[in-house]
Chain A
Amino acid sequence: EPEVTQTPSHQVTQMGQEVILRCVPISNHLYFYWYRQILGQKVEFLVSFYNNEISEKSEIFDDQFSVERPDGSNFTLKIRSTKLEDSAMYFCASSEAADLNTGELFFGEGSRLTVL
């Protein structure tokens, strides 16, 4: 069964360091998303990506964050200078075209980021 894969599963970094979280969405999907979940809290939308550009982003997704689809299969989230409050589980997700009748969101298993 096709699945969204994320690497690394867990990353520990020092405050101020750059982090890149990688995702391989399901191959025929067109919509890609990053969400984050601070421990024990709600799932928060960061950004959606379609047709090689950002389609929507939240207030959380400030200039420290960027996304890229460098090679047609990977979908990366970069945090340029990590802060303590960036510690969270980051979920990548993908979805087929925007038809709401088939638009289930498939999640990866998450990348846990710990900023020290």
Chain B
Amino acid sequence: AQKITQTQPGMFVQEKEAVTLDCTYDTSDPSYGLFWYKQPSSGEMIFLIYQGSYDQQNATEGRYSLNFQKARKSANLVISASQLGDSAMYFCAMRDMSGNQFYFGTGTSLTVIP
């Protein structure tokens, strides 16, 4: 079964607008971590934001925020005030209690339109 599901293969957003990238996850572990990574066309994987399953507050990092809805098992990434440099692939990932593996979604390709 898919551990991480990203249902949007591609998204477009106007520059300076906000965009939400969807992510749902599946785990029976009581404790887990959720991550978002950005992969620009150059190929490297850049960490953006982290949410722990026991965190009460939604994580925020600058223009990135994570809309964590535990009951719905969703961890959507919100990018505010989109910039042209935000155009990239975005991957949602989860680390389970064993810590032995990070599970990645299939990614969402975001294109910011000037």
A: number of interface residues (CB 8 Å): 27
Counting contact residues on chain B (CB < 8 A from A), the size range is 20 to 34
Stretch at the interface among A13-21, A78-86, A101-109: A101-109
Contact of A100 (CB < 8 Å), options: B32, B103, B104, B107: B32
Q: Which residues of A contact B100 (CB under 8 A)?
A: 31, 48, 50, 55-56
* Residues on A facing B (Cβ under 8 Å): 31, 33, 35, 41-45, 48, 50, 55-56, 89, 91, 93, 95, 98, 100-101, 103-107, 109-110, 112
* Residues on B facing A (Cβ under 8 Å): 31-33, 35, 37, 43-47, 50, 52-53, 91, 93, 95, 97-107
Task: Name 15 A/B residue pairs within 8 A (Cβ), A-sorted.
Answer: A35-B102, A43-B104, A44-B104, A48-B100, A93-B45, A100-B52, A100-B97, A103-B95, A103-B99, A105-B47, A105-B93, A107-B47, A110-B43, A110-B44, A112-B43
